[in-house]
Structure 1
Amino acid sequence: MAEVAKAVAVVDLALKACTAYDRPDAAARLTAAKRALADPVLHVVVAGEFKQGKSSLVNALVGANICTVDDDVATAVPTYVRHGAKPEAALLYEPGRRESIPVADVRRHVLENGAPSREKPSGVEIRIPRKILAGGMVLVDTPGVGGLGSPHAVASLSAISMADAVIFVTGAAQELTRSEVDFLQRARSLCPVVVCVITKTDFYPAWRRIRDLNEQHLATHCPVPLIPVSSALRSRAVKANDTALNTESGFTDLVRFLTDRIGRSAADRLVAEAMAECAELCDQLGNRFQAEKAALADPEAAARVVRELTGVKDRVEALKSAAAKWNLTLGDGVTDLTSDIDHDLRGRVRVVIAEADAAIEEADPADTWLEMEAWLQARMADELLANYELLRQRAGELSQRVGDHFHEASTMLMRRPPVADPTPLAAVTDFEHKIDLQRMRLPKQAMVALKSAYGGALMFIILGSLVGVQLGPIGVGIGLVMGHRGLREEKKRQVQKRRAEARNAIRRYCDEVSFVANKDSRDTLRRVQRQLRDHYSGLAEELNRSNAQALVSASDAAKRTQADRERRLKDVDAELERVRQMRKRILAVTG
């Protein structure tokens, strides 16, 4: 893009200024900004119910069969499709480990019933040479196992929170369901750019009616763009190089949306951040030369300028200390936030346990345990995501407060860094219970009934003989009644035992998930604290270096002769003009 090229040219000019004015600290930030402009990464998450055509959509977008499509099983791990010089694939493991595999073997690792491996990968990365991916776009085909009410959906939402855009896929077989609308609303709150895509329009003749119904649902509950497409038509159009068929497939509108909304917004964001770095350098250089100019133009005012710069030096030194307001705000804020997040998680887990206990009391775990396991995993994953959303929101607010306090103390507007990615908070482990859910088998029931009947009959026969009454057949009847009663009591006792074991298993599971989530949240907040601390400490160091250079220049100006001051004044005016020209170029890029 033209804006990116202009921004790179301005950053190059700023880097030359860093070299000329001995500012390696600012050069490091500008180099990072230039690197981001040269190699942007734009994550586009493809999400939706399972068997709705997510993998087919990704294949049609890139014009290659790289994501596995199967009618019987669903995608089990996320697939990352990005640009590469040649087709290649790799398995991704935590933390940051990769294992190269042949592209033909991707299917074995992606599908739900694929071949087992020694260790389950966290994802699969596929690189292919495609124009649509050359700008840094990464298509993420999310797992579809279990639908939108499963832990996989929560993992998708976690990925969405750090994505640049979301493509939500729904089929043309029926209108949007309540769960799909809820998922869309949550996705829109986590990611600014969301588009809803109706797939399989070539398979369902009534897709236009479904489109109209979905437009009504979206207008009421979640206003996002709606684009109907056909992956089959797109694939045939790519093979035949048929422009008309490609337009009919609907993918022209989708590609235009991705290019205009996602690519442009990401480029604008990177350009704005790079220009903000350049503007900061201009401010610091301008302040330095303005102070020197004031000292050169009025020798009597030189002492005052030096005093002012000395006072600024003291304030900047205070910014670097542990007692600085922004540093205290950061430390206290992280402590409070850690306590609040932990309390919120504990409260959510208590609610889940209470709901599980109520469900267990209403039925026999031997009949409902499989459904209980799936419900509990999905429920805990949903609560973890809500807890993560709270952490993300509060961490952003803390970053804002710290930045405001730093701005108040430094009298400079500083760019605030984003918070760290707390994605692990949304991961839930498998539910491994160790409880006996087997009902009594028929032989055991017979033994329990016989034992109760024998004991009851024997007791009444002995009592009858003590009082001189022969019960005869009546004793047998009494034994049968006692046996039936004993069997009923034993069944009731075993149901209570299974319920107690189920409750204990649920508590153990919730404790394990809470233990892991609590550790992840604390680690995330420590990363946030270190990130903010290092960011603003670095800015304070830059201010200190810039002020020190200005103080040295002003002090030297006070010692110069009249002739030296006049010659240096011309040089300073020239330097200020260069700074002004750089600022004009920054404004030309940012508009």
Structure 2
Amino acid sequence: MAEVAKAVALIDLALHACTAYDRPDAATRLTAAKESLADPVLHVVVAGEFKQGKSSLVNALVGATVCTVDDDVATAVPTYVRHGAKPEAALLYEPGRREPIPVADVRRYVLEGGAGGVNGDRVSGVEVRIPRKILAGGLVLVDTPGVGGLGSPHAAASLAAVSMADAVLFVTGAAQELTRSEVDFLQRARSLCPVVACVVTKTDFYPAWRRIRELNERHLAAHCPMPLMPVSSTLRSRAVKANDTALNAESGFTHLVAFLTEKIGASAVDRLAGEASAEVLALCEQLDSRFQAERAALADPEAAARVVRELTGVKERVESLKSAAAKWNQTLSDGVTDLTSDVDHDLRARVRVVIAEADTAIEEGDPADTWAEMEAWLQSRMADELLANYELLRDRATDLGVRVGDHFHEASTMIMRRPSVTDPTPLATVADFQHKIDLERMKLTKQAMVALKSAYGGALMFIILGSLVGVSLGPIGIGIGLVMGHRGLRDEKKRQVTKRRAEARNAIRRYCDEVSFVAGKDSRDTLRRVQRQLRDHYSGLAEELNKANTQALNSAAEAAKRTQADREKRLKDVDAELARVQQLRQRAQAVAA
């Protein structure tokens, strides 16, 4: 893109300035900004309920069958579709490991009940690379499993992916209007991702799709305003094969492609170009202050001593920024400590609520009847609570970064952008529930034995008691035995239900403790990474400011020692340098605009 080329050319010019003015410290951040421009990555998550046409939508967008479409089996793991020089695929594992596979084998791994990874390792996703123009700018389409309702584990996993995405396309079919769970999901998605759009699919299959579009527009306007685009993946695929422009327009994909390239792609390019120009403008400010101080000393020798004193005072303030007692450093340290405590307390409170709800449900039924539903409910509830806890961590970490930047503002106008937090997707996809509960009811044989044992014992006791007092009970003893047998069987069933309930409660607590242990460790690690990011960023800025101030101080001190002729000659050189810095600033402002 032309914008990216302008930003790269701007950074190259700034890197030349770093070399000319002996500023290798500033060149480090500029190089990092250039690398981001060279390989931009824009994640667009395609989410929605099961069998709504998500995979078909991705295939139609890229004009190739990269995501598996099946009428009976749903997608089980995410599929990442990105640009590549040639078609290739790979399995993705949670620790970041990847394993190449043939493209033809993708279907085996993405559908429910598909093959597992090597050595039984859990596959977290499948990546497919193909040479397509729409993907060449860094666009990555993520085909996610179906939501399955807001409270399902799939929904939590999809929301976790949404939190790390640049944009979201929510897919709903034209068969019916948006459901309550879909609207709830969209509301959560908007709070996690800045760009969300709703896509109505299968318009070629349902003649009343225009009425569905009107109803959906009302729902979105009332609850979560966002763009809504009706499309037909079938018509799009036919249009691509036949190279039919009119059919492509009828499919509705022209608006969707424009949204992806102009809204999402352009916003990402603007963000990267803005970050690059901000880095260059910061360098210009430092270079300008250096030459302005030297010029003031050259133009007025009597004021040179004052300039040197002012720069010396600035040097002391800048050096104080590098100390542990600096306000920004104390704010960072205290903020991370407080945030760690608050996030841990929030997680514990959420787990306590889940356990209390589970205990209530267990007391109202028999785990032998309800455990299958209880297990699925517990996994989805814990995944949802972990995601909410992650949202707290992310938002508070962002606020902390802003506060630290504000306290550093007295020495630099540069504030670090939102600190990067860890991907919550592995936490949302919680581990399988490993329980040790005997859910088997008593078989008829065992019930008969328990009843017989109680009946025999009861009848025998009363017969012996009657014989001791000289009374023969006869058939009455048998009746008493039957009553005692029924009571014994009832008590045994009650005891076993109580035992199952206790085992179920213990299993739930063990599961919640394990999830809390893993999530707590992950949040603490994340906050330590955030602390290191902010600390290293502002420590580096302090070093840059110190370097710039030292150069300015040395230049001003040397200017005071020059003769009149040397000052006049050097003054022309300094004015020329200031003009070059001004030209660089103007180019940076043009890129930012």
- TM-score bucket (shorter structure): over 0.9
Distance 1:334 1:113, change over 3 A: same
SS in 2 for 1:227: strand
Deviations 1:182-211 (A, max 9, x none): 000010111111110111111222212211
Equivalent of 1:586, from 551, 572, 588?
588
C-alpha contact 2:149 2:181 (8 A) present in aligned 1: no
C-alpha contact 1:50 1:147 (8 A) present in aligned 2: no
Whole-Å separation in 2 of the counterparts to 1:415 and 1:351:
37
Which residues of 2 match residues 238-277 of structure 1 at below 5 A?
238-277=240-279
Whole-Å separation in 2 of the counterparts to 1:32 and 1:471:
98
* Equivalent position of 1:191 in the other structure: 193
Structure 2 residue 97 is matched with structure 1 residue 97: yes
Deviations 1:346-402 (A, max 9, x none): 000000000001011111111111000000000000000000000011001100110
C-alpha contact 1:76 1:145 (8 A) present in aligned 2: no
Which residues of 2 match residues 296-307 of structure 1 at below 5 A?
296-307=298-309
Q: Which amino acid aligns with 1:396?
A: T
1:301 deviation in Å?
1.3
* Equivalent position of 2:126 in the other structure: 124
Which residues of 2 match residues 281-292 of structure 1 at below 5 A?
281-292=283-294
SS in 2 for 1:122: strand
* Equivalent position of 1:30 in the other structure: 30
1:94 deviation in Å?
2.9
Whole-Å separation in 2 of the counterparts to 1:442 and 1:98:
52
* Equivalent position of 2:373 in the other structure: 371
SS in 2 for 1:77: coil
* Equivalent position of 2:403 in the other structure: 401
Structure 2 residue 188 is matched with structure 1 residue 168: no
* Equivalent position of 1:13 in the other structure: 13
| Total equivalences in the alignment | 590
C-alpha contact 1:84 1:128 (8 A) present in aligned 2: yes
Equivalent of 1:156, from 155, 158, 182?
158
C-alpha contact 2:398 2:418 (8 A) present in aligned 1: no
1:145 deviation in Å?
7.1
Deviations 1:8-49 (A, max 9, x none): 222221111111001111111111112222221111000111
C-alpha contact 1:388 1:425 (8 A) present in aligned 2: no
Whole-Å separation in 2 of the counterparts to 1:94 and 1:473:
71
Equivalent of 1:480, from 465, 471, 482?
482
* Equivalent position of 1:420 in the other structure: 421
Equivalent of 1:343, from 326, 342, 345?
345
* Equivalent position of 1:496 in the other structure: 498
C-alpha contact 2:48 2:147 (8 A) present in aligned 1: no
Deviations 1:291-314 (A, max 9, x none): 101111111211111111111111
SS in 1 for 2:26: helix
Unaligned runs of 5+ in 2: none
SS in 1 for 2:461: helix
Whole-Å separation in 2 of the counterparts to 1:316 and 1:458:
96
Deviations 1:119-142 (A, max 9, x none): 122111110000100111000111
Whole-Å separation in 2 of the counterparts to 1:59 and 1:414:
41
1:114 deviation in Å?
1.0
SS in 2 for 1:149: coil
Equivalent of 1:507, from 499, 504, 509?
509
Equivalent of 1:564, from 563, 566, 582?
566
Whole-Å separation in 1 of the counterparts to 2:380 and 2:409:
43
C-alpha contact 1:285 1:546 (8 A) present in aligned 2: yes
1:179 deviation in Å?
0.8
Distance 1:195 1:93, change over 3 A: same
* Equivalent position of 2:389 in the other structure: 387
SS in 2 for 1:70: coil
Q: Which amino acid aligns with 2:580?
A: R
* Equivalent position of 1:445 in the other structure: 447
C-alpha contact 2:149 2:182 (8 A) present in aligned 1: no
1:6 deviation in Å?
2.3
Which residues of 2 match residues 506-585 of structure 1 at below 5 A?
506-585=508-587
1:146 deviation in Å?
4.5
1:427 deviation in Å?
3.5
Which residues of 2 match residues 201-220 of structure 1 at below 5 A?
201-220=203-222
- Of 21-30 and 472-481, deviating more is 21-30
1:516 deviation in Å?
0.3
SS in 1 for 2:169: strand
Q: Which amino acid aligns with 1:61?
A: L
Whole-Å separation in 2 of the counterparts to 1:528 and 1:39:
23
Distance 1:433 1:484, change over 3 A: same
Deviations 1:32-70 (A, max 9, x none): 112222221111000111111111110010000011111
Whole-Å separation in 1 of the counterparts to 2:578 and 2:62:
50
* Equivalent position of 1:141 in the other structure: 143
Whole-Å separation in 2 of the counterparts to 1:28 and 1:528:
20
* Equivalent position of 1:237 in the other structure: 239
1:587 deviation in Å?
2.1
Unaligned runs of 5+ in 1: none
1:104 deviation in Å?
0.4
C-alpha contact 2:304 2:557 (8 A) present in aligned 1: yes
Whole-Å separation in 2 of the counterparts to 1:313 and 1:254:
54
Equivalent of 1:318, from 320, 323, 326?
320
Distance 1:147 1:63, change over 3 A: farther
Deviations 1:139-190 (A, max 9, x none): 0111227554322221211111121100001111111111110000010111
- Of 552-561 and 373-382, deviating more is 552-561
Structure 2 residue 86 is matched with structure 1 residue 54: no
Structure 2 residue 80 is matched with structure 1 residue 77: no
Whole-Å separation in 1 of the counterparts to 2:243 and 2:412:
59
Q: Which amino acid aligns with 2:390?
A: Y
Q: Which amino acid aligns with 1:570?
A: K
C-alpha contact 1:282 1:579 (8 A) present in aligned 2: yes
SS in 1 for 2:123: coil
* Equivalent position of 1:464 in the other structure: 466
- TM-score with structure 2 setting the length: 0.98
SS in 2 for 1:82: strand
Whole-Å separation in 2 of the counterparts to 1:133 and 1:116:
28
Q: Which amino acid aligns with 1:212?
A: E
Give the CA RMSD over aligned residues.
1.2
C-alpha contact 1:79 1:124 (8 A) present in aligned 2: yes
C-alpha contact 2:147 2:158 (8 A) present in aligned 1: no
- Of 108-117 and 517-526, deviating more is 108-117
Which residues of 2 match residues 217-232 of structure 1 at below 5 A?
217-232=219-234
Distance 1:524 1:29, change over 3 A: same
C-alpha contact 1:49 1:148 (8 A) present in aligned 2: no
1:83 deviation in Å?
0.4
